């Protein structure tokens, strides 16, 4: 059943829920490329007005991708928590926005609500929210996870240390890793994107970081961001696998293009848990996502890229991840054209993920063919910091020399912690103080000559 709205003499019709959601979204190049975007600003607003009056129940009755055809839809509907939903079951999308913004809807209430909200509901309400709404509600959400340290506590901001090297050279990786640790980064994870899919090379990198971590007793976790099947093989080969990484999408077909399904993710999670390497908790999945991945894989099925992105979070939610990272500007300008679109998408992703109960971080980033620059990244970094993002990336000088894109730097993370008074994960903070890297206020110290990491640097 379709929808329609009149604005003055103009009448707009929306064929189904998919079309309504797509046309209600803020302008972005990916939806235009897919032929799903609103044809005029008035049509966009007409769609939003219809959406605002839509009862939330409708999302349980009409799937944007058919239940029979898609295991992500089945996951969403089969795991929907009716009792959590009861609190909002009589609301429309517009009323949900107001409910979320109300002072009475506090951290505990949002936590209780999470399992009653489907990705489509979250996407829908985000389309009616301004940037400040996305920030305010996300800031009320608290999602705490743990493996070897505790992430997501109030007043904390963690950093993934990303010491990539163009040829996976061990000394090159170690050099960037030392650089990041000396800037107080690495509490979220020390995570390397490998240049090759070669299994012995991946195992060697896992061993390198694990040897380093144990030798210097760094309370963090490591990850080599390779395909889940490689991580499984590494586990079989006895390698020290802390976290299992995988890129995920919001439809079965997208995940197929990534070479995965839910069963494979379950297998990998069980295999990594069987190693019992977590000391503080057993959240050990690390997922990356990004708007546009479904369109890029010709698997969007007529659904807009933001709604599909939130559906990917439903996949993540099923695996109690330690970290979920929206790699927001990596995909390129045909999906997110400029700084404005990237900033908006970053705030949407963070809000929707947190609303669903996920430990959201963001790779605040752009490519050189997008209309964006460092100022745009500063803006998004600051906005997400205010919104309480769990973690951001730390790349030396913001320049990833292996993946050829710009992310956030160790300096950027230090800036955000300084300007917002944020601290790192408590276990990691204690280690930084013990190691003479930071003082008890979190201020970076000039390294003393005998500082252990400095000695390692001298002997590398």
Partner 1 sequence: MAKRFPSTKAANDGQLSGVRPDPWDQLRRYTPARIALGRAGVSLPTRAVLEFDMAHACARDAVHHRLDAAALREALGARGHATLEVASAAGDRQTYLRRPDLGRRLDADSRPVLDRWRAAHRDEPDLVLVLADGLSALALERHALPLIDELVPGLGELRLGPMVIARQARVALGDEIGALLGARQVVVLIGERPGLSSPDSLGLYLTHGPRPGRTDAERNCISNVRPEGLSCVAAARRLSFLMRGARELGASGIALKDDTPLPPGGAPVPGDGRPIGPR
Cβ-based nearer residue to partner 1, 319 or 405: 405
Draw the binding track, 196-235, toward partner 1 (x: CB under 8 A; -: no contact): xxx--x----------------------------------
With beta carbons less than 8 A apart as the criterion, state whether 161 and 191 touch: yes
Least distance in angstroms from the C-beta of 454 to partner 1:
6
Least distance in angstroms from the C-beta of 401 to partner 1:
5
Q: How far apart are CA 52 and CA 144, in angstroms?
A: 31
Choose which of 128, 139, 430, 444 interacts with partner 1 (CB under 8 A): 444
Cβ-based nearer residue to partner 1, 144 or 258: 258
Cβ-based nearer residue to partner 1, 217 or 401: 401
Least distance in angstroms from the C-beta of 405 to partner 1:
7
Size of the residue set binding partner 1 (CB under 8 A):
57
Cβ-based nearer residue to partner 1, 332 or 346: 332
For position 381 contacting partner 1 by CB under 8 A, the verdict is no
For position 405 contacting partner 1 by CB under 8 A, the verdict is yes
Cβ-based nearer residue to partner 1, 119 or 332: 332
| 3-state SS string for the chain | CCEEEEECCEEEEECCHHHHHHHHCCCCHHHHHCCCCCCCHHHHHHHHHHHHCCECCHHHHCCCCCHHHCHHHHHHHHCCCHHHHHHHCCCEHHHHHHHHHCCCCCHHHHHHHHHHCCHHHHHHHHHCCCHHHHHHHHHHCCCCEECCCEECCCCECEEEECCCCCCCCHHHHHHHHHHHHHCCCCCCEEEECCCCCCHHHHHHHHHHHHHHHHHCCCCCCEEECCCHHHHHHHHHCCCCCCCEEEECCCCHHHHHHCCCCHHHHHHHHHHHHCCCCCCCCCCCEEEEECCCHHHHCCCCCCCCHHHHHHHHHHHHHCCCCCEEEEECCCCCCCCCCEHHHHHHHHHHHHHHHHHCCCCEEEECCECCCCECCHHHHHHHHHHHHHCCCCEEEECHHHEECCCCEECCCHHHHHHHHHHHCCECCHHHHHHHHHCCCECCCCCECCCCCCCHHHHHHHHC
Cβ-based nearer residue to partner 1, 45 or 457: 457
Interacting positions 173-202 with partner 1 (CB under 8 A)? 173-176, 178-179, 182, 195-198, 201
Least distance in angstroms from the C-beta of 238 to partner 1:
23
For position 411 contacting partner 1 by CB under 8 A, the verdict is yes
Interacting positions 311-370 with partner 1 (CB under 8 A)? 332-334, 337, 367-369
For position 172 contacting partner 1 by CB under 8 A, the verdict is yes
Other CB atoms within 10 Å distance of the CB of residue 47: 23
Least distance in angstroms from the C-beta of 370 to partner 1:
8
Choose which of 166, 200, 237, 421 interacts with partner 1 (CB under 8 A): 166
Least distance in angstroms from the C-beta of 278 to partner 1:
30
Choose which of 25, 26, 119, 163 interacts with partner 1 (CB under 8 A): 163
What region does 287 belong to: left with phi over 0, alpha with psi -120 to 50, or beta? beta
**Stretch binding partner 1 (CB under 8 A), from 90-98, 245-253, 345-353, 443-451:** 443-451
Cβ-based nearer residue to partner 1, 6 or 40: 40
Cβ-based nearer residue to partner 1, 22 or 96: 22
Least distance in angstroms from the C-beta of 212 to partner 1:
14
Least distance in angstroms from the C-beta of 162 to partner 1:
10
For position 396 contacting partner 1 by CB under 8 A, the verdict is yes
Q: How far apart are CA 271 and CA 335, in angstroms?
A: 35
For position 259 contacting partner 1 by CB under 8 A, the verdict is no
Give me 416's structure tokens: 């955000």
Draw the binding track, 234-253, toward partner 1 (x: CB under 8 A; -: no contact): --------------------
In our burial notation (b when 16+ CB lie closer than 10 A, e otherwise), range 99-108 reads bbeeeebeee
Give me 196's structure tokens: 């090759």
For position 164 contacting partner 1 by CB under 8 A, the verdict is yes
**Stretch binding partner 1 (CB under 8 A), from 9-17, 79-87, 212-220, 402-410:** 402-410
With beta carbons less than 8 A apart as the criterion, state whether 411 and 419 touch: no
By the criterion CB under 8 A, which residues form the site for partner 1? 29, 32-33, 163-169, 171-176, 178-179, 182, 195-198, 201, 332-334, 337, 367-369, 373-374, 395-399, 401-406, 409, 411, 414-415, 417-418, 444, 446-447, 454, 457-458, 460
């Amino acid at each position: 059943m379709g929808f329609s709205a009149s604005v003055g003499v103009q009448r707009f019709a929306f064929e189904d829920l998919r079309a309504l959601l797509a046309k209600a979204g803020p302008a972005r190049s990916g939806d235009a490329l897919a032929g799903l975007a609103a044809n005029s600003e008035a049509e966009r607003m007409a769609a939003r007005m219809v959406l605002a009056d839509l009862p939330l129940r409708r999302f349980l009755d009409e799937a944007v991708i058919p239940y029979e055809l898609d295991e992500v839809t089945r996951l969403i509907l089969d795991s929907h928590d009716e009792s959590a939903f009861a609190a909002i079951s009589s609301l429309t999308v517009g009323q949900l926005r107001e409910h979320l913004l109300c002072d009475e809807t506090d951290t505990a209430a949002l936590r209780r609500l999470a399992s009653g909200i489907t990705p489509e509901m979250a996407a829908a309400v985000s389309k009616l929210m301004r940037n400040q709404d996305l920030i305010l509600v996300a800031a009320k959400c608290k999602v705490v996870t743990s493996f070897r340290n505790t992430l997501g506590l109030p007043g904390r901001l963690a950093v993934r240390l990303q010491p990539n090297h163009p040829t996976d050279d061990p000394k090159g990786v170690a050099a960037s890793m030392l650089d990041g640790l000396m800037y107080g980064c690495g509490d979220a994870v020390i995570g390397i994107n490998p240049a090759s899919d070669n299994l012995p090379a991946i195992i060697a990198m896992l061993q390198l970081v694990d040897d380093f971590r144990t030798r210097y007793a760094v309370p963090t976790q490591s990850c080599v961001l390779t395909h889940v099947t490689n991580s499984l093989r590494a586990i079989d080969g006895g390698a020290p696998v802390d976290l299992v990484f995988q890129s995920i999408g919001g439809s079965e077909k997208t995940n197929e293009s990534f070479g995965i399904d839910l069963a494979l993710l379950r297998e990998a999670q069980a295999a990594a848990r069987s190693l019992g390497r977590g000391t503080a908790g057993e959240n050990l999945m690390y997922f990356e996502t990004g708007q546009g991945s479904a369109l890029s894989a010709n698997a969007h099925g007529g659904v807009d890229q933001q709604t599909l992105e939130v559906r990917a979070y439903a996949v993540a939610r099923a695996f109690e991840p330690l970290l979920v990272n929206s790699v927001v500007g990596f995909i390129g300008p045909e999906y997110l054209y400029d700084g404005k679109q990237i900033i908006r998408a970053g705030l949407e992703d963070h809000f929707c993920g947190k609303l669903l109960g996920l430990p959201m971080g963001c790779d605040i980033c752009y490519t050189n063919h997008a209309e964006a620059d460092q100022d745009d990244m500063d803006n998004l970094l600051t906005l997400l910091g205010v919104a309480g993002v769990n973690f951001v990336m730390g790349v030396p000088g913001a320049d990833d020399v292996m993946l050829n894109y710009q992310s956030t730097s160790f300096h950027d993370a230090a800036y955000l912690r300084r300007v917002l008074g944020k601290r790192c994960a408590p276990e990691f903070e204690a280690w930084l103080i013990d190691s003479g890297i930071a003082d008890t206020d979190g201020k970076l110290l000039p390294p003393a000559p005998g500082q252990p990491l400095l000695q390692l640097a001298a002997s590398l």
